[in-house]
Structure 1
Amino acid sequence: QTLSRSVNVLIGVGLLAEPLAFADAGWVGGILLLVFCALVTNYTAKMLAAMMKQDRTSATYADVLIKAYGPWARETIYFLFVVELATFSVATVTLFADSMASLFPRFSSLFFKLISYLILLPTTYLPLRVLSLTSLLGIMSSVVLLAVLVTDGLIKKTAPGSFWEPMATSIVPRWGRFPISFGLLMSGFSGHAVVPSLYRDMAHPEHFASMINVAYIIAFVVSVVFGVFGYLMFGNSVSSEITRDLASTVGYPVALNQLAVWMVAINPLVKYAIANKPLVTTFEHLVGLHKPVAPRRIHRVRYYLLRPAASILCVGLAIAIPEFDRVLAFLGSASAFVICVIGPVGAYLIPLVVAGAERVLCWFLLVVSIVMASVGTVWSFLPVEEAGLV
């Protein structure tokens, strides 16, 4: 059960942009970056487990980092969670709208973003136990999409969209967009906020390392298949979401592709609601609404205002930033690098018990991750196409 939850966390919306990440980074850069992101986040997940083993009172990611950095870090950690959850929610809105626009091309993505508010808001009031029953939908949609991608590539004999006649690809990166690939690839491994709960929920936590290794192997293989196959099929002209290319390319089985796109479109509805609940809760902690002051009034504010306001904000940001790859690149660079690498590595170094080669490795990962996070975050806002940098 813990393995399936771990795989579900790791295999998410980031898969859809893996081919674009390969197009931006080139074959060499794409493979090296993907291996780097997988190995580093696997290592830091084990770091979190090791720190929780030393302090059995820690139950959440925030507990682990607050214990290491001190109480001053509490608001910073809550702010990072708000940024991550809000960005993820924006990505799900964009993915839903783009998928529906692929299915119904007469309507624009903007139209579906506007009506997504009416669809998404009611799901935020569903109990978490109901939403948890649909957690396997994420894995199912990824498996179906992977099967459709491979089937389409084998069925079609001519470019674009064929294994038999690959599109033009590149060994070296597109330097103007190369930093965007940092966040695109890292976003696929951004599940560390739930690692502590996975560790605590295990009946035999001593098996955590082997369990997380298996989960990462599965996630890495799926990511490689998506990235490599999608890049071969559509080359440097691949879209930010592989489903767009599958839906718009002539010569594929229409019903099969529509099934895949429908599953990708439905999946964000569930993921949005699951992300919205901790988003609202974390925001309450950040601004102090969780404190037991005027509980009835605060409950009304939380129930009737915060959830709709959060949904309006997410939909508004999805309209203001329509590019799925930009949202995902920001999620990976500004959030995933900090939460999955920089935060855990820094906390691991603070007690000064790490020595020798491991200490050197930790400092190396910390410096490299800070540089990649900074450059990737800046690049996610730069209009690189308009500036002629591609």
Structure 2
Amino acid sequence: MDMDRNIRAYPDIGEMAFGNRGRWVVSVFMNLELYLVATGFLILEGDNLHNLLPNVGVKVAGSTIGGKQTFVILVALIILPTVWVNNLSILSYISASGVLASTIILGSIVWTADGVGFHNKGVLLNWNGIPTALSLYAFCYCAHPVFPTLYTSMRDRTQFSKVLFVCFSLCTICYASIAVLGYLMFGSSLQSQITLNLPTNKISSRIAIYTTLVNPISKYALMVTPIVSAIENQIPPHYSKRLSRVLIRTTLVLSTVLVAIAVPFFGELMSLVGAFLSVSASIIFPCLCYLKISGSYKRNGFERVIISAIVLMGISIAVSGTYVAIQQLISRM
């Protein structure tokens, strides 16, 4: 983006490196990844609300809609107005609440640990779980497709590297802390979301669960912004932009609701996203684009060797992780 000011989004980088085919491949992987992450947010909301209120259900036209499905729909209705907002600076303030929420969640889990204790033990190293673990690690750090959008929206772009450093550092601290606490508290019985293990009768647990519900609501709109932009750019100029935007964004939210209800398995879905999409969009594609744009692929040297090793590592994680994730999803269906 520093080399060419016309580059505004991740697909532009793919086009600069590999032409129209590069743009198409990057766009498909990026948008599908963001779409499924947004879907995962709805599944997370449904799981946690159902855990708090297990007896909720709605009857419509003689059919009963289960608690998880009901909560997914309700949360989508709450999220919908944030998706209609065009001003990314407003969304950044909404998303900033997620940082505070993550801090509160971590503090609440530490508080809960004082009452639950560290009595459970599990298998410290499970080789069969390595592909899933690596896939989920990739998912946790898969924000790369959003970086160009954030960069172009910043008032002071010179601070971008500092922003990334602070964000990744804070995320790593939160992830590692909750992972260790979860293992020590619940061992191998730890679920895909630690909030589902927390005893709902404790105040600290309820604070953690309630606060967990804030994160998806605050981040959903930012996640789907690149998808919305890609679709809206295809609207013919003679159509009403305002009406088209509302219809497109509403339809997008509705579709994620349908997928969340059809495939309500958070851990398995995020593992698939991490292995197949996140590894490709955040590890493999950036390396390949850099090699092509910089011309490093023509030169033998330390940089080329390191980047090629990263690409090979990414491909191995993508293949093994995707295979395991699909197996897990099929077994749950």
TM bucket, shorter chain = 0.7 to 0.9
Distance in 2 (CA, whole Å) between partners of 1:368 and 1:234 is 31
1:339-354 pair list within 5 angstroms = 339-350=281-292, 351-353=294-296
What CA deviation, in whole Å up to 9, does each residue of 1:226-254 have, x standing for no partner? 11111111110001101111144x6xxx2
| Equivalent of residue 107 in structure 2, options 147, 154, 165 | 147
Q: TM-score, structure 2 length as denominator?
A: 0.85
| Equivalent of residue 324 in structure 1, options 266, 274, 299 | 266
Q: Note if contact 1:334-1:374 (Cα within 8 Å) is conserved in structure 2.
A: yes
**Which residue is equivalent to 2:91?**
131
Mark the CA change 1:376 to 1:319 in structure 2 (over 3 Å): closer, same or farther: same
1:357 maps to a residue whose letter is F
**Which residue is equivalent to 1:21?**
none
Give aligned-pair identity as a percent. Answer: 25
Distance in 2 (CA, whole Å) between partners of 1:66 and 1:112 is 40
Q: Note if contact 2:199-2:205 (Cα within 8 Å) is conserved in structure 1.
A: yes
Cα displacement (A) at 1:114: 3.4
**Which residue is equivalent to 2:74?**
115
Gap runs ≥5 in structure 2:
57-66
| Equivalent of residue 227 in structure 2, options 279, 282, 294 | 279
Distance in 2 (CA, whole Å) between partners of 1:307 and 1:373 is 30
What CA deviation, in whole Å up to 9, does each residue of 1:40-77 have, x standing for no partner? xxxxxxxxxxxx33334433322222211223222222
What CA deviation, in whole Å up to 9, does each residue of 1:315-345 have, x standing for no partner? 1111111111012112212221111111110
Which secondary structure state, in structure 2, belongs to the residue aligned with residue 58 of structure 1?
coil
Q: TM-score, structure 1 length as denominator?
A: 0.73
Distance in 2 (CA, whole Å) between partners of 1:104 and 1:211 is 38
| Equivalent of residue 121 in structure 2, options 168, 175, 195 | 168
Distance in 2 (CA, whole Å) between partners of 1:213 and 1:355 is 30
Distance in 2 (CA, whole Å) between partners of 1:355 and 1:332 is 31
Aligned residue pair count: 317
Mark the CA change 1:217 to 1:119 in structure 2 (over 3 Å): closer, same or farther: closer
Most deviating of 210-219 and 77-86: 210-219
Distance in 2 (CA, whole Å) between partners of 1:82 and 1:384 is 21
1:221-236 pair list within 5 angstroms = 221-236=173-188
Alignment of 1:185 onto 2:137: yes
What CA deviation, in whole Å up to 9, does each residue of 1:273-330 have, x standing for no partner? 3333432222345xxx3343x323x6534423x2232122111111111111012112
Q: Note if contact 2:72-2:260 (Cα within 8 Å) is conserved in structure 1.
A: yes
| Equivalent of residue 302 in structure 2, options 338, 357, 382 | 357
Give RMSD over aligned pairs. 2.6
Distance in 1 (CA, whole Å) between partners of 2:22 and 2:301 is 28
**Which residue is equivalent to 2:197?**
245
Cα displacement (A) at 1:211: 5.3
What CA deviation, in whole Å up to 9, does each residue of 1:80-130 have, x standing for no partner? 222012101111111111121122122232221233343333332234344
**Which residue is equivalent to 1:303?**
246
Distance in 2 (CA, whole Å) between partners of 1:204 and 1:340 is 21
Distance in 2 (CA, whole Å) between partners of 1:133 and 1:220 is 22
Mark the CA change 1:267 to 1:386 in structure 2 (over 3 Å): closer, same or farther: closer
Question: Taking CA–CA contacts closer than 8 Å with sequence separation of 6 or more, which of the two structures ends up with the larger relative contact order?
Answer: 1
2:246 maps to a residue whose letter is Y
Mark the CA change 1:384 to 1:307 in structure 2 (over 3 Å): closer, same or farther: closer
2:77 maps to a residue whose letter is L
Q: Note if contact 1:179-1:376 (Cα within 8 Å) is conserved in structure 2.
A: yes
Which secondary structure state, in structure 2, belongs to the residue aligned with residue 124 of structure 1?
helix
1:209-220 pair list within 5 angstroms = 209=161, 212-220=164-172
Gap runs ≥5 in structure 1:
1-51
1:266 maps to a residue whose letter is V
Q: Note if contact 1:103-1:247 (Cα within 8 Å) is conserved in structure 2.
A: no
Q: Note if contact 2:98-2:214 (Cα within 8 Å) is conserved in structure 1.
A: no
Mark the CA change 1:216 to 1:269 in structure 2 (over 3 Å): closer, same or farther: closer
Cα displacement (A) at 1:262: 1.2
Mark the CA change 1:136 to 1:214 in structure 2 (over 3 Å): closer, same or farther: closer
1:255-270 pair list within 5 angstroms = 255-270=203-218
| Equivalent of residue 100 in structure 1, options 25, 45, 49 | 49
Distance in 1 (CA, whole Å) between partners of 2:324 and 2:83 is 32
Q: Note if contact 2:36-2:273 (Cα within 8 Å) is conserved in structure 1.
A: yes
| Equivalent of residue 383 in structure 1, options 307, 328, 332 | 328
